[in-house]
Amino acid sequence: MKTKLQTYVDAENFMYESFLRAQAYIPKADDSVTRDPKRARWLLDQLGKPDQGIKTVLVAGSKGKGSTSHLISILLRGLGYRVGLFTSPHLIQFTERIQVNGQQISELDFLRLTRKIEPYVNELETKLERVAYQGPIGLALSVAWLYFKEQQIDFAVIEAGRGGRFDEANVVSNQWAALSSLFPEHLDTLGPTIEDIIWHKLGIVKGETTTVIVNHQQHAILETLRSELSHIKDLRVYGEQFQADSIQLDRSGITFQLRTERADYGRLHLPLLGAFQANNAATAVACCESIIGDRFPEQLLRDTLAQARWPGRCELLSQNPTVIADGAINAVSALYIQELVETIGFQKVISIVGVPVDKDYEGVIRVVSGFSEQVIISTPDLSHKSFSAEAFIFAKKMNRSSREITPLDKALEFAKQQPGVDLILIVGTQTFIGNAKRLYR
C-alpha cells in the first residue's frame, strides 16, 4: 500500500491528524464521554498485540507521574534490565516520548513504524463519526510497542495521560500500578469532585494488577484510596511501607533519608531540584523492590540515582543569572517552586509565565507573584494551546510591575537586561518549557 508519509515531519503530523479533524466537534465533557481507548486497543490487536507478554508498570497521578516513570525506568536499567519508557507530552521532539534504556527512538525508526500503523489507522478513520478520533497518545503508543518488541525489552514503564481510566495508555495489561500525588485538576474532564478524579486515576488498577504503590497523599485522599484498594494484597503506601525523610535542597539537587520495609538506605543524593522529587524517588524504589522481591543493592542505588535527569522539571538551563524552567500548570505545582526559591535564597526573581487557558494560570500567577519582583506573561513561539488574555490582567492585580511580552525569546531577553536579577524562572506548559530549552541549545 502506498504511503503518504515520506519524512519524519510527516510521521509526527500524522499523530495529530485524526484529533485535529475532530477537534471542533468534541464537546467539553468528562473523559468517559469524549475518549474511547478501545480504538487504541484495536490498533494494537491489528499489529499483532506487541504488548503481550511484556512486564509493565503503569503510572498515573496529578503531580510527579512523569518524574516517577522516569525514575522507575532509570532504577530498572541500573539493575541490568532492558527498559522501554513511554511518556507524554514531549518538550522538544515527539521521539522523546519513546525510549529504550534512556535513548529515544530515532527519526528513521519512528517514520518506519508509523508507516506500519498507517493503513490500520486509515481504515478505522473511514468508519468514525466526525466527533470520534484516534488520539495522538494511542497512535504513539502503538509505535512505542512495536519498537519495544523489536528492542526485546524486559520491562515497559508507561505514563498515563491526564486521567487513567479512559487513557489510551491504559489499554495494556499491567501487574504494577504507581500513583503519584493526587489533587483537584482537569475538573472539566475528570471532575468536578476529587472523588471523580480518584476514580479516573484508579482506572490503571485492573484485574491483573497485583501491586499498587501510592505516593504521598493528603489524608482524605489517602483514606479514599485505601478503601478503594482494599482488595490489593501488595499495597505499598508512602509513610507506611516507605518514606523519604530529612530532605535537604541546594543548587546541586536534593539529599534525603530513604527507608522502606526492606531496608534503611541512609542518605541519598538526587541531582534534581524540588523537594517533592525525594517522594517520587522513594515511590520508584518501592516499586522496584516489589519487582525484584528484594532490597535494592545500596551502592547501586546511590550510583543510579546520581545519574538521574528529568528535563523540564525545575531544570537548570543557565547560570549568571540562574535560569530555571519548570512545567508547573497549577498552584500546587508552583508551591514546590516557591519552596525551591526560598530554600536556596534567591533575592531578585523575574518569573516568565506561559500557562494556557485550560490550566490553572491564575493559581500559578498568584504563587509566583509572591516571590517575584516582576512577572512577565508570555507565550511559546508555536503551540496548539490557547492562552487567555485575562492572564495579564490578573498578573497586574497580583504584581503591579507585571508585563506582557511575547513570544518567549523577547520576554527572556528583557528579563536578562534587568539589573541585579539572580533568578529567571520560566514556568508553564510543556510546549512553553520546550521553547525555553530550544533557546538554550
pLDDT tens column, 286-341: 999 999 999 999 999 999 999 898 788 888 899 889 999 998 888 988 988 998 89
pLDDT band at 126 (very low <50, low <70, confident <90, very high): very high
181 beta partners = 63
pLDDT over 70 at 1, yes or no: no
Number of domains the chain is built from: 2
For residue 1, being part of any structural domain is answered with: no
Residues 87/89/94/100 CA torsion (nearest 10 deg)? -10
pLDDT band at 105 (very low <50, low <70, confident <90, very high): very high
Residues 277, 141 share a domain = yes
Q: Please write the tens of the pLDDT for every residue from 166-208.
A: 999 999 999 999 999 998 877 777 888 999 999 999 999 999 9
For residue 3, being part of any structural domain is answered with: no
Q: What is the mean pLDDT of residues 238-246?
A: 97
What integer best gives the mean pLDDT of the chain?
Answer: 94
Residue 408 sits in a domain whose CATH number is 3.90.190.20
Residues 267, 216 share a domain = yes
Cα–Cα distance, 34 to 161 (Å, whole number)? 14
Residues 325, 283 share a domain = no
Q: Is 411 helix (H, G, I), strand (E, B) or coil?
A: helix
Residues 326, 288 share a domain = no
pTM equals 0.86
> In terms of residue numbers, what domain contains 44?
8-306
**Number of Cβ atoms within 10 Å of the Cβ of 48:** 11
Q: What is the mean pLDDT of residues 123-133?
A: 96
Give pLDDT, residue 273.
Answer: 84
Residues 259, 365 share a domain = no
**Number of Cβ atoms within 10 Å of the Cβ of 347:** 10
Residues 346, 286 share a domain = no
Residues 269, 242 share a domain = yes
Q: Please write the tens of the pLDDT for every residue from 326-357.
A: 988 889 889 889 988 998 889 999 999 999 99
Pairing of β 264-270 and β 315-318 = unpaired
% of the chain at pLDDT higher than 90: 79
Q: Which of 142, 143, 203, 122 is nearest to 167 (CA)?
A: 203
Q: Residue 275: which residues within 8 A CB-CB, separation 6 or more?
A: 247, 249, 254, 336, 339, 340, 343
Query: Of 306, 332, 366, which marks where a domain is finished?
Result: 306
Query: Of 289, 306, 323, which marks where a domain is finished?
Result: 306
